[in-house]
Amino acid sequence: MPEFLDLHGKTSKALRAAADAGMRRHGLHLGQNLLLAALWEQDGRTPGELAAALGVTTPTVVKMATRMATAGLLTRTRDDRDQRLVRLRLTDAGRALQQPVEAERRLLEERVTADLAPEERRLLLTALAKVHRATTALLAEQDGADTPA
């Protein structure tokens, strides 16, 4: 029933499917592009750092990293100075995807927002940002309420 939640959900699903189709063209699965993007920005990060950067839990990154290492996109190396840490480093194949994947993502953004007037697009971003903040605040409040003194 709720209008916004419903519409947002449908849009999410559609965008997810479109993004997946786009990434698949470059041999990636949905989500892997985000991990790659974090490594393009700064190579050699640890699973924990990446998880924090992506807003995801560490096990998620570990699983993805395992698959992507198998796929030859990155390598796993133990940090020399701190043996607890693992460094994820891009291979040439992983680096080579940066240009095409970023282009694909820009194209998708253009396509899905093509029907929006500049003013409309601006307002959409503003409104969505407010929803994002409100939702994040709601989550923080709940987490805090569940673990009080």
Partner DNA sequence: CAGGGATCACTAGACGGCTAATGTCTTCAG
Partner DNA sequence: CTGAAGACATTAGCCGTCTAGTGATCCCTG
Nearer to DNA, 31 or 91 (CB): 31
Stretch near DNA under the rule CB under 7 A, chosen from 43-51, 90-98, 99-107, 123-131:
43-51
- Per CB under 8 A, 1 contacts its own copies: yes
Helices (H) and strands (E) in the chain, counts: 7, 2
CA angle 135–55–137, rounded 5-degree value: 20
| Alpha carbon distance 55, 127 (integer Å) | 21
CA angle 55–61–65, rounded 5-degree value: 145
Stretch near its own copies under the rule CB under 8 A, chosen from 57-65, 66-74, 86-94, 123-131:
123-131
Q: How far is the CB of 118 from DNA (least distance, A)?
A: 30
* DSSP-H helix ranges across 26-117: 32-41, 47-54, 58-70, 92-96, 98-112
Which of 19, 22, 34, 94 is the binder for DNA (CB under 7 A)? 34
Build a one-symbol-per-residue string for 71-110: x at contacts with DNA by CB under 7 A, - elsewhere. Answer: -----x----xxxxxx------------------------
Which of 22, 32, 39, 74 is the binder for DNA (CB under 7 A)? 32
- Per CB under 8 A, 7 contacts its own copies: yes
CA angle 136–141–147, rounded 5-degree value: 130
Q: At what angle do helices 58-70 and 47-54 cross, to 10 degrees?
A: 110
Interface residues with DNA (CB under 7 A)? 13, 17, 29-32, 34, 46-49, 51, 54-60, 62-67, 76, 81-86
